[in-house]
Amino acid sequence: KAGVTQTPRYLIKTRGQQVTLSCSPISGHRSVSWYQQTPGQGLQFLFEYFSETQRNKGNFPGRFSGRQFSNSRSEMNVSTLELGDSALYLCASRRDRGGIGYTFGSGTRLTVV
Amino acid sequence: GQQLNQSPQSMFIQEGEDVSMNCTSSSIFNTWLWYKQDPGEGPVLLIALYKAGELTSNGRLTAQFGITRKDSFLNISASIPSDVGIYFCAGQEGSQGNLIFGKGTKLSVKP
């Protein structure tokens, strides 16, 4: 079965712009989580969505937001981009209710210039 | 907030050698997970541990969940070039908690 699909793979944006990243989870997976990965901070949890509702939220500013659609696909949005937002953004999905671990996508590499 | 201390930060080993890395936490986790990340890809789950003291193997990989639920180690036996990558430990609270990741161990294997 298809894995977690993230689009686009690479993105270059200018400071002050906004960006939307997309994630399609594995079929049947209803929980989608987003992580930011940077060399200095490692993997940091952004938020988790389940059944179109945000279930958990990490310690990121309000410029970072997300949503989930009825087909479990998820998007995250970053507004007013800053240079420090340059990172690999990873999406992970799992079945929930006993799902073993999380399956990660290949990520979207965002570069803010 | 919660933090996982993963060590060593990096390792340079000869092909065929065994590898050991560990992770400690100030908090108790119900689940410990070990992931491997190749360049340009997302982390891939290697082993999941659910019970304190549990020892689990996956091929040449062996991982153990510490008795105190605050630590875990991962061993790789007879390393091969394709073992190169970054290995992450992650702790999960409860069945619905998010993952807290260690900073990773970068493994380099010399043929």
pLDDT (tens digit per residue) in A39-59? 888 899 999 999 999 988 999
Query: For A42-66, b where at least 16 C-beta lie within 10 A, e where not — what string?
Result: bbbbbbbbbeeeebeebebeeebbb
Give A39's contacts in chain B (Cβ within 8 Å): none
Would you call A101 and B48 a contact, using CB atoms and an 8 Å cutoff? yes
Task: Write down the pLDDT at residue A95.
Answer: 82
Alpha helices in B6-106 (DSSP H): none
Nearest chain B residue to A42 by CA distance is B103
Ranges of residues in chain B with a pLDDT under 50 are none
Task: Write down the pLDDT at residue A1.
Answer: 58
pLDDT (tens digit per residue) in A4-20? 999 999 999 999 999 99
Contact B89, B34 (CB under 8 A): yes
pLDDT (tens digit per residue) in A87-104? 999 999 998 765 667 899
Task: Write down the pLDDT at residue A101.
Answer: 75
B45 touches chain A (CB under 8 A): yes
Would you call A33 and B101 a contact, using CB atoms and an 8 Å cutoff? no
* Cβ-based burial of A71 (10 A; exposed 0-12, middle 13-18, buried ≥19): exposed
B10 touches chain A (CB under 8 A): no
